[in-house]
Amino acid sequence: MARRIRLASLLFALASLSLVASGCAAEQDVDDIGESGTLEEPLTRVTRPEQAAAANESLGSLRFQHLTPTSERVMKAARYWMRVQDRDPRYPLARMCASNVAKVLFLAGIYDHDQEGVRNLVRSVAAAGGRTLVLPGTKRELPGVLNQLDGGLIPAGTIVAGMHVSLSQPGDQHIGFIGHTDPDGTVWIYHNNWYRPESEGGARKPFMVSDANLTRGFPRQWMATPWIRVKRDLFGRISSVQSLMPQLDDMDPYNANYRVTLAILPQVLRELPSADR
């Protein structure tokens, strides 16, 4: 009898542990839930100390066309990630541009776009209520389309993605963020840059992956590079757009093989004046 009582007690204890484990699993954060509804490990991870360090990153004297509270967090995270990306050797590599964007978003406290693919990340922004805008590939049309966005201003933290018009294999697309803007109208983008001496027959040119990264076996680098230069008319509206780095063919708005898409995060969209959304 005593043996049966002990056995029953053991079974009850095991059942209780099982219920506790199931309860913890049911309370997993939504970011751990995959499309099938089963629990999955998130692709991207950040720690609270990382987020705190990103939030304290200085933007210095950088200027922005439009800096909302959310886009300020994204820009601080992007600048922080420039300094520390090489501490995690999986990020300064090929085929990791979307993963780097997701990492920056996580650092900024935005967890809705945990994607490894460029197209999936852009779709996730649209599905979450963001706004996407496919840019035309002509100098005549581009200013008019950009003027439809935030009164001709491009909010910092806007995602910019270049996707091949007919191919969808890894390496046929690239992604980053709209960053700061110089007084002369130069708009910079932050991305996992792939431009390196190998791209120019061995010649080193400005805005390439650093020799320090290449020496360590890192063919990519999260950094800022000039993207376009906008000129404005007397009313402040964009009148012309010059592509500054056609070498980055997948981000060149005038490259016929690619279509560049802007994706405004829903958090940023809600912070814009209603007339500019």
Task: Give the integer Cα–Cα distance in Å for 101 and 227.
Answer: 17
For tokens 């963020």, name the residue: 177
Percentage of residues of the chain with pLDDT beyond 70:
84
Global pTM reads 0.84
Angle between helices 69-84 and 97-107 (to 10 degrees): 120
CA 231 to chain centre: 26
Tell me the per-residue pLDDT of 188-229, one tens digit each, with 9 for 90 and over.
999 999 999 999 999 999 999 999 999 999 999 999 999 999
Mean of the per-residue pLDDT values of the chain: 87
Tell me the per-residue pLDDT of 161-183, one tens digit each, with 9 for 90 and over.
999 999 888 789 999 999 999 99
155: β partners: 66
Q: What is the predicted pLDDT for the residue at 274?
A: 63
Tell me the per-residue pLDDT of 46-71, one tens digit each, with 9 for 90 and over.
999 999 999 999 999 999 999 999 99
CB 184 within 8 A of CB 58: no
Q: What is the predicted pLDDT for the residue at 89?
A: 96
Q: Taking residues 240-248, what's their average pLDDT?
A: 97
Task: Give the integer Cα–Cα distance in Å for 151 and 202.
Answer: 42
Other residues' Cβ atoms within 10 Å of the Cβ of residue 170: 11
35 backbone dihedrals φ, ψ, rounded to 5°: -60, -30
